Structure 1
Amino acid sequence: MDFGGHGLSSHYSPGFPYDHQNFVSEVRRVAAALKWNRFSLLGHSFGGTVGGMFSCIFPEMVDKLVLLESSPFILESNELENMLTYKRSAIEHMLQVEASEKPSHVVSPEEMLQGFLKNNSHVGDECAKLLLQRGTTQVATGLLLNRDRRITRPEYYFNFISRELFVHSIRKLQARVLLIKATQGYYDVRRENDANMELMLFVTNSLRSILKERFQYVQVPGNHYVHMNQPQHMAGVISSFLLSKERIRAQL
């Protein structure tokens, strides 16, 4: 599904901010529309975090949770001291964009592709073209980005939580959880100067300790976008997890 303001989904109304919990609400809304009482969730990066938060708020609804390069919640580290700055910036940015009279920027398909690749260097040409199919709209003079311009830096709408709240929340999980980590994943793409893997270790150790046999961790070769660049590295792992109750190998 495309969250609000993304892909082919509608943008939020002026004055209504984008927030992590709003996206969780959208998952519940889709489930209600489809009349699903119990189902599995799969999400990559921020999408996995939304799925994890949903699985803890509505634990009885989620049978299996697949996290691709993700965590059930976003733990605060040095972000805590910036929290109020993020919230202020999000409000100011929303007001600036809504007050802007600038028309949406129309560019040629090739210019759009090259701009996307420049900002997402770990995604290949073919994957970029696939993402832009839902991420853009064709108009007479070129392509328009579909994403709401109010959505920029993700930390503006993240809900950072403490370690204590993380542990309390994942104790609510009823789902079996599969976490797939790429060898050159998130920390290489998003936090290139951050060699501190301690937070990720805390996440995996906590999930393993609390969920026990309901938690599985698999590492695959690739970068943060391995699910698009090399789907063969994880397709079999995910299929085995969804179809079987038996544990799968911890590393490929």
Structure 2
Amino acid sequence: MGKDAPSGLLSELKLAVPWGHIAAKTWGFPQGPPVLCLHGWLDNANSFNRLIPLLPQDFHYVAMDFGGHGLSSHYSPGFPYYHHNFVCEVRRVMEAMKWNRFSIMGHSFGGTVAGMFSCMFPEMVDKLILLDSVPFIVDSNEMENLVTYKRRAIEHVLQVEALQKPPSVVSLKEMIQGFMKNRPMNEDCAEIILQRGTTKVGSGVMLNRDRRVAWLENSFDFISKELYVHAIQKLQAHVLLLKPTEGFSDLRRENDTKTEALFFMIDMLKSVLKERLQYVEVPGSHYIHMEEPHQLAGIISSFLQSKHKTTAQ
């Protein structure tokens, strides 16, 4: 095993779904309290390789690859990757693992999926850990932009299907450099993600992920402030929000303000959840859970081990 092989790794899983399988990897104690770990947009389960071994090993950690990512099956032809579909995948994994109640840890996009699930199925989620993420993405101009986003999503799917372009095969070094262009991560972290995100072909590698997921409007739902407030009032979980000082302040949207929406989302979480929200700023980047996991491990461990009981609002 290489220098970045995840210590304490128990097993690789393939969970059957109607379009194939959802791949996952597990750490910790199988009979312990379950924690589902959700990776960021275009990443995969390897993004937790460095963090989970630093957390209490009497929990059962399952890091899944979203559909079209990592080692999970691509969706069937003609079936788009909408945000709601990824939330449904969480429910499918929960059923396959026979969990009645569990905690969720999500990074970036994985946190928005975790947040939506926690609002839709509040009685099922004990604790929610958001790594440089918020439960939903608020667009200050949602009413004006909604139709445009939905149109773009449909047009992109049709364009990808029409091209039928085979995946490119390049050297691993080229793949790593290309991967880092759009991500604020170092080379070691890019290599960890691509270990699971590529397949070796001859002397090169090709990306595993489905081309249809590489379009923001397909994978994210952007909602209004009113809907956001209504949704988070459904939350029953205790929430830990870890915000790196050099993280993504928001998802940059055309015609949208850069920070106002983020401050609104965090302020409303504080207002609605009160003592059920633990908000912590930590020095680091968007990929702090990979680059400096020791900065987060103590905070997350204490949160997971805390004995507070969740009550319905």
CA distance in 1, matches of 2:203, 2:168: 11
CA deviations 1:4-40 (Å, max 9, x no partner) are 1111111111111110010000000000000000000
1:232 Cα deviation after fit: 1.2
| Residue 116, structure 1, aligned to residue 183, structure 2 | no
CA distance in 2, matches of 1:100, 1:195: 34
CA distance in 2, matches of 1:24, 1:95: 23
Q: 1:218 aligns with which of 261, 280, 285?
A: 280
Aligned residues: 244
CA distance in 1, matches of 2:257, 2:78: 38
Match of 2:239, SS? strand
Note the 1:25-174 alignment, pairs <5 A. Answer: 25-120=88-183, 122-174=184-236
CA deviations 1:50-85 (Å, max 9, x no partner) are 000000101111000000111111111235423222
Q: 1:209 aligns with which of 271, 274, 294?
A: 271
Name the structure 2 match of 1:250: none
Give 1 or 2: higher strand fraction.
Answer: 2
Q: 2:297 aligns with which of 216, 223, 235?
A: 235
Q: Point out the more displaced range, 29-38 or 147-156.
A: 147-156
Match of 2:212, SS? coil
Match of 2:241, SS? strand
CA distance in 2, matches of 1:114, 1:39: 37
Q: Point out the more displaced range, 148-157 or 28-37.
A: 148-157
1:191 Cα deviation after fit: 4.0
Q: Point out the more displaced range, 59-68 or 100-109.
A: 100-109
Normalising by the residue count of structure 2, what TM-score does the alignment of the two structures yield?
0.74
Q: 2:72 aligns with which of 2, 5, 9?
A: 9
Contact in 2 for aligned 1:45/1:67 (Cα 8 Å): yes
CA deviations 1:83-120 (Å, max 9, x no partner) are 22222222121112112232211111111111112222
Q: Point out the more displaced range, 171-180 or 204-213.
A: 204-213
| RMSD over equivalenced CA pairs, Å | 1.9
Note the 1:174-213 alignment, pairs <5 A. Answer: 174-187=236-249, 191=252, 196-213=258-275
CA deviations 1:205-232 (Å, max 9, x no partner) are 2112211111110000011111111111
Give 1 or 2: higher helix fraction.
Answer: 1
CA distance in 2, matches of 1:13, 1:178: 35
Contact in 2 for aligned 1:62/1:174 (Cα 8 Å): yes
Which amino acid in 2 is paired with 1:35?
A: K
Normalising by the residue count of structure 1, what TM-score does the alignment of the two structures yield?
0.91
CA distance in 2, matches of 1:186, 1:80: 24
Match of 2:103, SS? strand
Which amino acid in 1 is paired with 2:115?
A: G
Judged with a 3 Å threshold, the aligned counterparts in structure 2 of structure 1 residues 44 and 35 are, in CA distance, closer, same or farther, namely same
Q: Which runs of 5+ in 2 are unaligned?
A: 1-63, 309-313
Q: Point out the more displaced range, 137-146 or 80-89.
A: 80-89
